[in-house]
Every structure is written in structure tokens, then in C-alpha cells.
Amino acid sequence: MDILLIILGAVCLITGLIGCIAPVLPGPPLSYVGLLLLHFTDRVSFSTTELLVWAAIVVVVLLLDYFVPMLGTKYFGGSKWGERGCVVGTIAGLFFMPWGIVVGPFVGALAGELIGGSRTGQALKASLGSLIGFLLGTVIKCIVCGYFIYVFVAAIF
């Protein structure tokens, strides 16, 4: 049974890492499930504190994944209109997977800025911020999943 759980855990970790780039899959939660599967084997026993901290990290990363594009818009000089447009674009992008989650915040921020009366150059700059925010969120997810893979491999060997 342990071998089956280890194999399923490894599959979850690899799928989770792929999910960091493919927006259809929830990367960090899948990787966390991989660690949980390893925990249920006789080979490794993580502490409750470790499991709770890792779960909290997964929740924070999931929340950041939705807010970082909005923060990027704001950091690059976007107005409230751009931030709201980014949120609307993010929600709308969920219906047009997989590319909608990348393009949605960008187009939403651009439309919001243009509706708010910003010039085209400023609107594009704010939209670029949402795209950079999205990419930063992807990097953060990859780091977390990479860490989970490291913990998994270190625990097995």
C-alpha cells in the first residue's frame, strides 16, 4: 500500500508542477495532496505543524494568484478603474480557459483604464503590470511546488 501511495503522491506532485503553468489544474493544492499521500505511508510522518504551515502556504498562494495581477496593475500606475477592470477580466477569463486566465486580466485592466479616461500609453502600461503580476504569481506557484517536490524526495531518501 505504501508504494501505491508514494506513486500517487509523486503523480500529484508532478501534476501540481504542471498545474503551475497550465491554469486548468490547481498546482499547489495538487502538490500538497502529494505530500499528504506520502504522510499516510509508514515510511514518512510529517508533523502536524508542518502540514498546517504547508496548507496555509497553499491558501496564501492561491489567494495571491488572484490578487497579484491587480497589484501589478496598481504598481504600474493603474487607477481604480484599471484594478476593477483587472478583477472583471480575471473572472471573465475563467470562462475562456486556458488562455483567458492570462489574457483576461490584461484586457480587463486595459479596458478599465480606457473607460476611466486614461491615455492609451498609460492604459497599456497598467495592463502590462497585470501581465507581469500574473507571471510573478506563476513563479511563486512554481517555487512552492518545487519546494514540495524537494520535501517529498528528501523524505523518501
Q: What average pLDDT does range 75-104 have in this prediction? A: 86
Q: Which residues contact 6 (CB under 8 A, 6 or more apart)?
A: 37, 38, 41, 43, 156
Domain ranges of the chain: 2-156
pLDDT band at 25 (very low <50, low <70, confident <90, very high): confident
**Secondary structure (3-state) at 40:** coil
Helical H segments across the chain, by residue range: 2-21, 27-39, 48-75, 80-93, 100-115, 120-156
pLDDT tops 90 at residue 45: no
Euclidean distance between CA atoms 47 and 38, whole angstroms: 12
pLDDT band at 56 (very low <50, low <70, confident <90, very high): very high
Euclidean distance between CA atoms 131 and 66, whole angstroms: 12
Residues of the chain with pLDDT > 90: what percent? Answer: 56
If you count them, how many residues does the chain have? 157
Span 57-84, pLDDT tens digits? 999 999 988 888 888 888 898 888 988 8
**Which pLDDT value is given to residue 14?**
96
Residues 126 and 76 sit within 8 Å (Cβ to Cβ) = yes
Residues 41 and 2 sit within 8 Å (Cβ to Cβ) = yes
Asked if omega into 28 is within 30° of 0 (cis), the reply is no
Euclidean distance between CA atoms 41 and 112, whole angstroms: 51
Q: Burial of 85 by CB count in 10 Å (0-12 exposed, 13-18 middle, 19+ buried)?
A: buried
Global pTM value: 0.85
